[in-house]
Amino acid sequence: MGLKMEPLLLAWSYFRHRKFQLCADLCMQMLEKSPYDQAAWILKARALNEVVYIDEIDVGQEGIAGMILNKNAQVPRPGTSLKLPGSNQTGGPSPAVRPITQAGIPITGFLRPSVQSGRPSTMEQAIRTPRTAYTAYPIASSSGRFFRLVMALFEYIFHHENDVKTAVDLAALSTEHSQYKDWWWKVQIGECYYRLGMYLEAEKQCKSALKQQEMVDTLLYLAKVYISLDQPVTALNLFKQGLDKFPGEVTLLCGIARIYEEMNNISSTTEYHKEVLKQDNTQVEATACTGSNHFYSDQPEVALRFYRRFLQMGVYNSQLFNNLGICCFYAQQYDMTLTSFERALSLAENEEEVAEVWHNLGHVAVGIGDTNLAHQCFRLGLVNSNNHAETHNNLAVLEMWKGHVKHMGDLQRSYIAAQKSQAAFPDHLGT
């Protein structure tokens, strides 16, 4: 007969295996029998927080105050703002024109939470801020248990319940109780202020926390405040000062690379991504962005080396084989092109991923001069995802090209496809 595990140990096992809902349910059963079980209470709060976890540092969601500030801001000088980035510094021919937004920012090679969520376009979207979470830090003191309970309560209120007002009140009381000597609570107050759009107050709290204790996460939060204030140069200087204190810190190097990428300074972005890979050659973001940059710089064979590194790291998904397929085609490794796309189609988990594969297959068909096959591939892509902007755009170009060749084609279909592309992705520039 097997031994029965203690409920608390079983709940902790669920938590370690990222089965957070099972962990929370088991903790609830324990709390029904013993309402004052502090261990079960803390574990349940942590499990519920992990269910909605998104790294707060990576999220650049703007609130209502940020939208108003941006609307009333004056036009900055090029190279000093993320709203008006500098000109692209990469030159030379390219196997495929790198897509950019209307602001002139190149599409990144790595999907981040901030890229995925995007800037809220309406006040209603800004009010409905997504739930996020923050990593807890242990502290050591004579009243450590009390502080751990308060920290767990704060994280639950702030991240899971999204009640920022109550959270900031609790953080303020805790800061006062610690006689304003606890840097962690100051960072939490700053994060509450940031969520409320009070960026200047958030800056003061983060700076005060840095004076007491220099921490990498505090630097990252303060840089996020400067980014929201559209002060990328200040954020860059902060990161570089942080590197003096924490040499070779990967998160700081990645932060610098991201800002340069947003400012369309691709050469500096590549330089810092390579520095990241020197420190950690398995860093996913730097590997993906470096591979993407080599591809759009007419070096698909070099890009292949970076994407194949993901295979060595155990990554096996549709996006990776889709990138491998298009790189193999432009690197003239035709024996692997269709095989990679076949695997990409077989591993696709949703219709959007299938549409991406057919979109690249359409490019391959255009490359070999088979416009009929390209037309069919783009149509198959739209069957799976009718809102795929790039496919609509390329289909419009294809229809227009066919119309000019035949001196008669239906240019109206090209115009309709272009309109659909603009409607699906209004912030994207067609090529």
- Report the CATH number at residue 400: 1.25.40.10
Q: Is 203 domain-assigned?
A: no
b/e per residue, 6-16, with b = 16+ CB within 10 A?
A: eeeeebbebbe
Q: With respect to residue 369, please indicate whether it lies within any of the assigned structural domains.
A: yes
pLDDT, position 68:
43
pLDDT score, position 168: 94
pLDDT of residue 256: 96
pLDDT in tens, the chain (431 residues): 455 678 999 999 999 999 999 999 999 999 999 988 888 988 999 899 888 866 667 655 444 445 444 544 455 555 666 766 665 554 444 455 666 655 555 566 666 655 544 444 443 343 333 333 333 333 333 345 556 788 888 988 988 888 999 999 999 999 998 899 999 999 999 999 999 999 999 999 999 999 999 999 999 999 999 999 999 999 999 999 999 999 999 999 999 999 999 898 999 999 999 999 999 999 999 999 999 999 999 999 999 999 999 999 999 999 999 999 999 999 999 999 999 999 999 999 999 999 999 999 998 999 998 989 998 999 899 889 888 778 888 887 787 776 554 444 454 554 454 555 455 555 555 44
Does residue 419 sit within a domain?
Answer: yes
Question: Within a domain: residue 13?
Answer: yes
The token duo for 237 is 């200087």
Indicate the burial class of 107 (C-beta count within 10 angstroms; 0-12, 13-18, 19 or more): middle
User: Would you say 421 and 396 are in contact if contact means Cβ atoms under 8 Å apart?
Assistant: yes
- Residue found by looking up tokens 């973001």 in the block: 285
Count of structural domains, the chain:
2
Q: Are the beta carbons of 26 and 14 closer than 8 angstroms?
A: yes
Q: Would 373 be classed as within a structural domain?
A: yes
Question: Is position 409 within any domain?
Answer: yes
Looking at the domain assignment, is residue 301 inside a domain?
no
Residue 173's pLDDT is 93
Q: What is the pLDDT of residue 428?
A: 52
C-alpha span between 425 and 431 (Å, rounded): 13
Q: Is residue 41 situated within a structural domain?
A: yes
Q: Which domain holds residue 358?
A: 348-431
Q: Which residues of 108-146 are buried (b: 16+ CB within 10 A; e: fewer)?
A: bbbeebbeeeeebeeeebbeebeebbbebeeeeeeeeee
- Going from the C-alpha of 97 to that of each of 100, 292, 363, 365, the distances in angstroms are 9, 12, 12, 17
